[in-house]
Amino acid sequence: MGSYQFIMLALGVVLFVAALICLFLRYSTPLVVTLFILSIVMIGFPRVKSLKVGGAEVDLGELLQEHENNPTDPAIQKQLKQALVRYNALKPSSASPQLAEQVARGNEILHQTDQALKWAEVAAKKDPSSIQAQELVQRLQVKQLTPASTGEAVSPQTASRLTNAISVLTQQPNLSAESHVALSKAQLALGQDEEAAANLHSALKVKPNVPVDPKLRALITATPH
């Protein structure tokens, strides 16, 4: 159990005891109910791995693994979208680093970059030693600044910020295929075609089935590497 989980468990127990005392002393019902609910959430939420969606138990980690194996399967995308409606309703700060990272990855897959970054930052803050969480935050920061459409113009101010974000992400060791794709699209937006081509080739080398924008693939594969 991580330190933050222990703290949440301890606080949850304290709140539970406080709720019992309030109940014994006949405090107002809303206060007692609130304390009971908070204590249960604090004791149990760090262990949440799955939620019920449409009457079925959904493990987000399993869904992400299925998407990893079949990134273009629309049925998996639909399941992921339905699951994230529930997960996104949870409070990010109460989640474990692992769950926060999974919710962030799910949102990233659905191109919900702002939401993904919110969860990724929680994961990275709670587990500063996680290279994956740090890379995820940096990749999402690159995506936030990259134009959604290939070929869209970039303002000088955005270009400067995007260049800095790219520089930070490229310092990560053993980048994932997803990060190489994000870098490729960002570099193409900045007119750095050769660097973009190199990153796309690296992405496909790491993971041949990594999802790539067809426009990006068409533009980059024409550049020799």
Confidence at residue 4, expressed as pLDDT on a 0 to 100 scale:
53
Confidence at residue 53, expressed as pLDDT on a 0 to 100 scale:
42
Query: Tokens at residue 62, please?
Result: 């399993």
Model confidence, pTM: 0.73
Confidence at residue 57, expressed as pLDDT on a 0 to 100 scale:
36
Query: Tokens at residue 155, please?
Result: 């303002």
CA distance 27 to 216: 63
Confidence at residue 10, expressed as pLDDT on a 0 to 100 scale:
76
CA distance 67 to 74: 10
Per-residue pLDDT of the chain (225 residues; tens, 9 = 90+): 445 556 767 777 887 888 888 877 777 788 878 877 877 776 665 554 455 444 333 588 889 999 999 988 999 999 999 989 888 988 888 888 999 999 999 999 999 999 999 999 999 999 999 999 999 999 999 999 999 887 788 999 999 999 999 999 999 999 999 999 999 999 999 999 999 999 999 999 999 999 998 878 876 665 555
Domain ranges of the chain: 1-47, 130-225
Residue with the two structure tokens 């050769």:
194
Biggest CA–CA distance in the chain, Å, is 77
CB-based burial of residue 48 (10 Å sphere; 0-12 exposed, 13-18 middle, 19+ buried)? Answer: middle
